[in-house]
């Protein structure tokens, strides 16, 4: 039985990924902030062949992550694949960014991934291995004015993924990074993001979900360490 744990699962890339994995026969562990969206998605995907367990966890709250995940995984499903998808953005000059917003962004985009991995890695080790996929951005490789904090968090996430891969290789745990160009998701509607990009030219959440499934479907003896998916028109 293959089980996937997806963070940020209630909307956008997370919800699309949940649908792709459910269609492929996976059992689902879905994590997101408590919301009717998460409940609706779970109800949509539950079936005789697809078990769905959810946890309403605010990944911006570091104290809730470990206990919430341990409770979720105590219900009879142990993940073999982990998709760290949850994240956020903030736009504006670095020199004017409030410190609390800096801490909030790094908690969501970097530290929460560290905490999820610290909680789940012992389970993967005990099971003889597994796959962790961290969703990153081409902003990890380039500097974009007004997106400095986001670029910083994603660059650190890419480095974290490489280090984790080296440390866990001997335990049979594979680590992939999915590096994305702009994706048309609710992130662009966030109060903390100001942009005027043409969202019609962006990648779709469904395309990303299918790519994450591709990474998960690799044989256990191989791993795609870093896959980059960009809109055909190029970087935004």
Rounded to an integer, the average pLDDT of 142-154 is 91
Q: How far apart are the first and last CA of the chain?
A: 39
Rounded percentage of the chain residues whose pLDDT exceeds 90: 81
Q: Is residue 99 classed exposed, middle or buried when 0-12, 13-18 and 19+ CB atoms within 10 A define those classes?
A: exposed
CATH of residue 131: 3.40.50.720
Distance CA 114, CA 160 (A): 8
**Catalytic positions, written as ranges:** 150
pLDDT of 156 reads: 98
In a domain, 62, yes or no: yes
Number of domains in the chain: 1
In a domain, 234, yes or no: no
Domain region containing 109: 3-229
pLDDT of 167 reads: 98
- Indicate whether 197 pLDDT > 70: no
In a domain, 87, yes or no: yes
Band the pLDDT of 183: cuts 50, 70, 90.
confident
Band the pLDDT of 160: cuts 50, 70, 90.
very high
Band the pLDDT of 157: cuts 50, 70, 90.
very high
Element (H, E) at 27: strand 27-32
In a domain, 236, yes or no: no
% helix, strand, coil for the chain, step of 5: 45, 20, 35
The pTM (predicted TM-score) of the whole model is: 0.93
Alpha carbon 62 to chain centroid distance?
Answer: 16
pLDDT of 227 reads: 97
Rounded to an integer, the average pLDDT of 131-147 is 92
pLDDT of 61 reads: 97
- Indicate whether 235 pLDDT > 70: no
- Indicate whether 233 pLDDT > 80: no
In a domain, 17, yes or no: yes
In a domain, 235, yes or no: no
Distance CA 216, CA 52 (A): 18
Rounded to an integer, the average pLDDT of 167-175 is 98
Least confident of 27-41, 155-169, 195-209, 210-224: 195-209
In a domain, 59, yes or no: yes
């Amino acid at each position: 039985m293959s089980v996937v744990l997806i963070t940020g699962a209630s909307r956008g890339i997370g919800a699309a990924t949940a649908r792709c994995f459910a269609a492929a026969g996976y059992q689902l562990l879905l994590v997101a902030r408590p919301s009717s969206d998460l409940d609706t998605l779970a109800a949509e995907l539950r079936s005789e062949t697809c078990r769905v367990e959810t946890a309403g966890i605010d990944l911006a709250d570091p104290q809730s992550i470990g206990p919430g995940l341990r409770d979720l995984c105590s219900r009879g499903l142990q993940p073999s694949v982990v998709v760290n998808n949850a994240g956020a953005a903030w736009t504006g000059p670095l020199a004017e960014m409030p410190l609390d917003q800096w801490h909030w962004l790094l908690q969501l985009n970097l530290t929460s991934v560290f905490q999820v991995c610290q909680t789940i890695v012992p389970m993967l080790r005990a099971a003889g291995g597994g796959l962790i996929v961290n969703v990153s951005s081409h902003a990890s490789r380039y500097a974009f004015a007004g997106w400095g904090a986001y670029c910083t968090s994603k660059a650190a996430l890419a480095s974290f993924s490489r280090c984790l891969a080296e440390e866990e290789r001997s335990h049979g745990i594979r680590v992939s990074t999915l590096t994305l160009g702009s994706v048309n998701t609710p992130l662009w509607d966030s109060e903390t993001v100001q942009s005027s990009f043409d969202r019609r030219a962006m990648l779709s959440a469904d395309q990303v979900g299918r790519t994450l499934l591709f990474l998960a479907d690799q044989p256990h003896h191989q791993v795609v360490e870093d896959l980059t998916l960009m809109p055909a028109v190029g970087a935004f």
